Structure 1
Amino acid sequence: MQFLDFEKPIADLYEQLEKLKENGVKSGVDVSATVSEYEQKISDTKQNIYNNLTSWQKVQLSRHPDRPYTLEYIERMTTNFVEMHGDRNVKDDKAMVGGFADLDGETVMFIGQQKGINTKMRQIRNFGMANPEGYRKALRLMKLAERFNKPIVTLIDTPGAYPGLEAEERGQGEAIARNLFEMVKLRVPVICVIIGEGASGGALGIGIGDRIFMLENSWYTVISPENCSTILWRSWNFKEKAAEELKLTSSYMSQFGLVDGVIPEPIGGAHSNHEEMAAILKAKLKSTLAEVKKIDPDTRIEQRIDKFSNMGFYEER
C-alpha cells in the first residue's frame, strides 16, 4: 500500500501494527487485544485525516497510483463488456475506452478516459489525455448507443485533452466542441461521473449529461492547480494556494450547482477499497438510470439544455 505525505500518521500505525503481529508470532504471545487497539487507532486516525482534507490533498488523492480507473470500474460493476475501438478515421486512441456492458441485466454504453496502471501502460494510454480521435471515437459510440436506444455512462478521469501540436492539427478543439453539441441532443439517458481528475475541455468533452456526479475525492475545473500556479505566479510552488482558490473540490462543485451530487468514497479514499467503491458507484448508477429513464426524451433534452445554460454566476463591481 502506498501512502501520501499527509497519510504518514496512518503509515506509521500500520508499520507498528505489522511489527506487533510479527513479534506475537515469534514469541507465541497472544497480542489480539493490542492488535484491536491499533486497528481502532488506525480507524480513528483515518477519520480525523479524511474528514479534514484540504483542496490540494484531495487533488493528490484523485491522482493516487492505486486509485481505480475506468476499466476496473467497468470490470467490477458489469459483465460481458465488449470494448469497441477506433474513430473510423485516424486510429484507435488508447486514452479513451468504451463499449457495451451488462449492468445487472441492462445493456449500457460505458465510455471513459483510461490511465495506465504501470509506466508502460501510462505511456500507451497517454496518461489519460485523449487526442481528437479519442473524442470522435466516444461520439461514435454514443451515437451507436442512441441508435439501439441504450443509456450512456461516462467515467471522467483526465488531466486534460492532449495539448500536442499534432492534436491541434487534427482538430482537438473542434472534436470537443462537436461532442458538446451532439451530447446535448442525445435522446437516450446520459450519466456522467468524475471518478478522478476532471480538467478543462478534456473532461467536458464527455461530460454533458442528464446527471453529473463527482466522487468525493475528485476535482473538476478549467485548469490544474500546477498550471494555474505557473500562469499566475510563474512557479509551481503555489499549487496548494491555487487549489484552494479554484474551488475545485466536489463539495464546492455541488454548492455551485455544477454537479448534481457527490458520491461518497470509503474512508481512506477509493484506492483503499476498490470493491466497496465500485459497489457504491454501481448502486448510484442503477438508481439514477431508473429515475432518468422515466423522463420523456424530448423533456430530457430540454432539461439538459436548461441545466447547462443556467450554470455560472458572477458579481458586478
Structure 2
Amino acid sequence: MDTLLDFEKPIAELEAKLVDMKQLASENNVDVKAAIVDLENKISQLKKNTFKNLTRWQRVQLSRHPDRPYALDYIYAITDDFIELHGDRNIADDKAMVGGIGSIDGESYVILGQQKGRNTKQRQLRNFGMANPEGYRKALRLMKMAEKFNKPIITLIDTPGAFPGLEAEERGQAEAIARNLKEMFMLKVPVICIVIGEGASGGALGIAIGDSVMMLENTWYSVISPENCSTILWRSWEYKEQAAEALRLTATDMKGFGLVDVIVEEPLGGAHNDPVGMAANLKAAIQKEMKKLNKLSVDKRIEKRIDKFCQMGVVVE
C-alpha cells in the first residue's frame, strides 16, 4: 500500500513496529511472542474501531484511494474469459467507459463500467473516469447487444461525473445520458448496477438504472461531490467535510433512503487492503442477486424496475 490517508497512519505506524519487532526477534533469537500477539491484537482492535466509526468525508476519501481496485480489476478478477469490446460505431472508442463479454462460473454476462487510471498517463487516457457522449453510446450499444443475445448486464460505477467539456456538450452529452436512462428502464434482461467507488451525478446515473442497485461499503453516490457542493454554498472547498455530512451520500445513507438495494461488505481496512477478498465478496453478491432476478418474468422485472425508480423522492404526508 503506497498511499496512506490521515486516519490510516496510526495503524500503519503500529504495523511498522510489528515488522520491526518480528525482525529483531529473528535476528537476535529473542522470544517476544507474547509482545507480538499483544501488538497484533492492538492493531486489529484499532482497525475495527477506526473503520467502524468513519465520517462521511473519510468514506469519500476511501472511495478515491489510489490503490483501490478499479472496474477492470474487478472484471478480470470475477470473470474467466473477459473479452473487451470497443467503440460506439459513431464517433470513437471512449477509454473512460469499458465493456465487453465475460463469464462468471460458466454464465455469460455483458459487463461495463467507468475506468480510472493509476498514473498520469493512464489518467489522461481514461480522462479520470469521466466519459464523453460516445462512452455512454458505447455502453448502450453493449447493453442492446446483451438484450439481443439474452445476456444479463452488470455495470460498475466509478466516476466523478460525466465529462463537462465543451466538445462533450457539442456531441450531445445530456442526450446520450438521457437516452441511456430511457433505454435501461426497458431492457428485457436482468441488470445489476454496482457503485464501486465514486457515484457522481448524471455521469453515474447514465449506467445505473437496474433491477438491483448495489454499493460497496466505502463508496458514495450523490448528485454532486462534497467539494463542488462546498464551493457552491460557501464559495470555498474548505467546507467539504460539512458538505459530505449534509449530503448524506454513503452506502448506509443510500440504503436508508431506499435508493440502493444491497451494501457489499468490504474487507477490514477497505477494498484496497484486500482486492482479492473484495472481488470474492462482489462476485458472491452478484450471484446472489442473479438468483433472485432469474425467478422473475421479463414483464415483472421491468415493472419492478420502473416502480423502484418512480418511488424515489416521493414524500407522503
TM-score, scaled to structure 1: 0.97
* AA partner of residue 61 (structure 2): Q
Q: Which piece of structure 1 moves more, 136-145 or 34-43?
A: 34-43
For residue 118 of structure 1, report the CA deviation from its aligned partner: 2.0
Deviates more, 1:228-237 or 1:259-268: 259-268
Offset, 1:21: 2.1
Q: How many angstroms does 1:315 deviate by?
A: 8.3
Matched, 1:232 2:233: yes
Q: Provide the C-alpha distance between the structure 2 equivalents of 1:272 and 1:52, rounded to a whole number of angstroms.
A: 18
Counterpart for residue 17 of structure 2: 16
Q: Does 1:255 align with 2:243?
A: no
Alpha-carbon distance in structure 1 between the residues aligned to 2:315 and 2:302: 26
Offset at 1:25? Answer: 2.8
CA drift at 1:22? 2.5
Which residue pairs with 2:147 in the alignment?
A: 146
Mark the runs of 5 or more structure 2 residues left unpaired by the alignment: none
Corresponding residue for residue 267 of structure 1: 268
Q: Report deviation, 1:206.
A: 0.1
Q: Give the letter aligned to residue 68 of structure 1.
A: P
Residue 24 of structure 1, CA deviation: 2.0
Write the letter of the residue equivalent to 2:156.
L
Structure 1 segments unaligned to the other structure (5+ residues): none
Counterpart in 2 of 1:6?
Answer: 7
Amino acid in the other structure paired with 2:223: V
- What residue identity is the alignment partner of 1:312? G
Structure 2 residue 66 is the aligned partner of structure 1 residue 44: no
* Offset, 1:34: 2.2
Q: Map 1:52-201 onto structure 2 (within 5 A).
A: 52-201=53-202
What amino acid is the match of 2:119? N
User: How far apart are the structure 1 equivalents of 2:154 and 2:266?
Assistant: 19
**Aligned pair 1:287/2:261, yes or no?**
no
Letter in 2 for 1:279: A
Quick one: distance in 1 between partners of 2:191 and 2:32?
52
Q: Could you report, residue by residue, the CA deviation over 1:33-64 in whole angstroms, capped at 9, with x for unpaired residues?
A: 32222221111000000000100000000000
**Range 205-214 or range 10-19, more displaced:** 10-19
SS of alignment partner, residue 48 of structure 1: helix
| Distance in 2 separating the partners of 1:119 and 1:79 | 29
1:207 equivalent in structure 2: 208
Query: TM-score if structure 2 supplies the norm length?
Result: 0.97
CA RMSD of aligned residues (A): 1.1
Q: Tell me the distance in 1 between the aligned counterparts of 2:315 and 2:127.
A: 36
Which string of whole-angstrom CA distances, capped at 9 and with x for unpartnered residues, describes residues 162-186 of structure 1? 1111101110000000000000000
1:215-258 Cα offsets, whole Å, 9 max, x none, are 11000000000000000000000000000000100111000000
Secondary structure, in 3 states, of the residue corresponding to 1:125?
helix
> Shift of the alpha carbon at 1:9?
1.3
CA shift at 1:12, angstroms? 1.2
Taking every aligned residue pair, what percent have the same amino acid on both sides? 65
What amino acid does structure 2 have at the position aligned with 1:129? M
- Mean alpha-carbon deviation: is it higher for 13-22 or for 76-85? 13-22
Q: Which amino acid aligns with 2:120?
A: T
Residue equivalent to 2:242 = 241
